[in-house]
Chains A and B, each alone.
Chain A
Amino acid sequence: DVKVTQSSRYLVKRTGEKVFLECVQDMDHENMFWYRQDPGLGLRLIYFSYDVKMKEKGDIPEGYSVSREKKERFSLILESASTNQTSMYLCASSLLGGRIEGYTFGSGTRLTVV
């Protein structure tokens, strides 16, 4: 069964810490995405990547950075965690130009910043 795996299901971090969220997919997908989801706000795109070492800002990139050194791995970095970054973080992947395929999501990481 193909999968998108997020390294942590629940994470608690302190304000000011540098936080790494890891995502690995085994589907050979070119596209990878990071979203956060908050009640009433829906899914908001943070960053996405169409290829190795390539990244593009989404709708809410402030306070975040990403890294894609290998095709299968896309990391989200919170440079200095703040309480307003407490959220559910979802990673997704898809085929490049795949019009009839949707995204496959990971199981999510619920991050709490205290």
Chain B
Amino acid sequence: QKEVEQNSGPLSVPEGAIASLNCTYSDRGSQSFFWYRQYSGKSPELIMSIYSNGDKEDGRFTAQLNKASQYVSLLIRDSQPSDSATYLCAPRSYNTDKLIFGTGTRLQVFP
């Protein structure tokens, strides 16, 4: 079992729709969770972090965390073509300062 699992996609959604990106993780001790956006050929950029169960909203982005189910998700409302990128899920390891990255979900938003 991989430490962090994400559907590689591509996830295709029409402009204006809600994109839902999912991630499961194996380390029950993980306390903090991060979502990165990576455009093709560019480096990852932090867009959201969450460390409490429930929802955290920031503009069009909502991160959701369920530690009991070891599940974290990212919702993007009113998706735009500029949201087309790969989204990386990264829990922080409990006893180190390392982030454990998933391989990412590629999102395509079509006009």
A residues with a Cβ closer than 8 A to B are 31, 33, 40-43, 45, 48, 50, 90, 94, 96-108, 110
The 23 listed contacts between A and B (C-beta, < 8 Å) are A33-B98, A42-B88, A42-B101, A42-B102, A42-B103, A43-B44, A43-B101, A45-B98, A94-B99, A96-B97, A97-B97, A99-B31, A99-B32, A100-B49, A102-B32, A103-B34, A103-B46, A105-B43, A105-B44, A105-B45, A107-B42, A108-B43, A110-B41
A100 to B34, CA, bound (A): 9
Question: In the complex, which range does the number of interface residues on chain B fall in?
Answer: 20 to 34
Q: Which residue of A lies closest to B103 (CB)?
A: A42
Q: How far is the CA of A71 from the CA of B100 in the complex (A)?
A: 23
List chain B residues, Cβ under 8 A from A101. 49
Residues of chain A within 8 A (CB-CB) of B36 are: 102
Q: Specify the chain B residue showing the minimal Cβ separation from A103.
A: B99
Ranked 3 nearest A-B pairs via Cβ: A42-B103, A102-B34, A105-B43
A31 adjacent to B43 (CB under 8 Å): no
**Is residue B107 within 8 Å, beta carbon to beta carbon, of the partner chain?**
no
Please report which residues of chain B, range 45-78, place their CB below 8 angstroms from some CB of chain A when the two chains form the complex. Answer: 45-46, 49, 51
Contact of B46 among A33, A42, A104 (CB under 8 A): A104
Contact A98 B44 (CB under 8 A): no
CB distance from B78 to the nearest CB of A (A): 24
How many angstroms between the C-alpha atoms of A102 and B100 in the bound complex? 11
Question: A42 → chain B, closest Cβ, in Å?
Answer: 4
Within 8 Å of chain A (Cβ to Cβ): is B90?
Answer: yes
